[in-house]
Structures are given as C-alpha cells and as structure tokens.
Amino acid sequence: MAQKTYTVPNISCGHCVMSIKNELSEMEGVKSVEGDPDAKKITVDFDAPASEEKIVGKMKEINYPPS
C-alpha cells in the first residue's frame, strides 16, 4: 500500500476535509483518507488501481488542487 500526503491550500475547515474524504473514498483502490484543516494537509492510503495521478486529478476536479 502507498501513502501520500498532499498540501491543499484551499482547505479552510472540517467541511472541506470531509468533502475531499467523501470524493476520494469513492475511488477504487483508496483505502483511507485523513485530513487536518489547520495544517491544510490530506493523507491518502491507496493501492492500485488508484494512483497519485488519479488522486490529484480528482482533487483538481473538485476544486481542492494540491500544491
């Protein structure tokens, strides 16, 4: 399993984190999504077929692009 932490400047509250968690959790291969609104960070645990490219693409699609 791979783990990646993303910095997401658009996160301003727990609701933002929950929106990201809900969207990414629906992706096949994503095992867990954790977020810290104060640090503006999202950590994703995933296996194939999920990939960093697909995760970043989904985050951009929902207007929470990682920096």
For the chain, what are the domain ranges?
Answer: 2-61
User: How far apart are the C-alpha atoms of 28 and 9, rounded to whole Å?
Assistant: 25
Q: Which residues contact 28 (CB under 8 A, 6 or more apart)?
A: 49, 50
Residue 24 buriedness (CB in 10 A; 0-12 / 13-18 / 19+):
buried
- What pLDDT score was predicted for residue 14? 96
How confident is the model at residue 33, as a pLDDT?
A: 98
Taking 50 as the pLDDT cut, the residues of the chain under it are none
Return the CATH number of 2-61, one of 3.30.70.1070, 3.90.1640.10, 3.30.70.100, 3.40.50.300: 3.30.70.100
- Does pTM top 0.85 for this prediction? yes
Asked if residues 42 and 6 have their Cβ atoms less than 8 Å apart, the reply is yes
The encoded tokens of residue 51 equal 């990939």
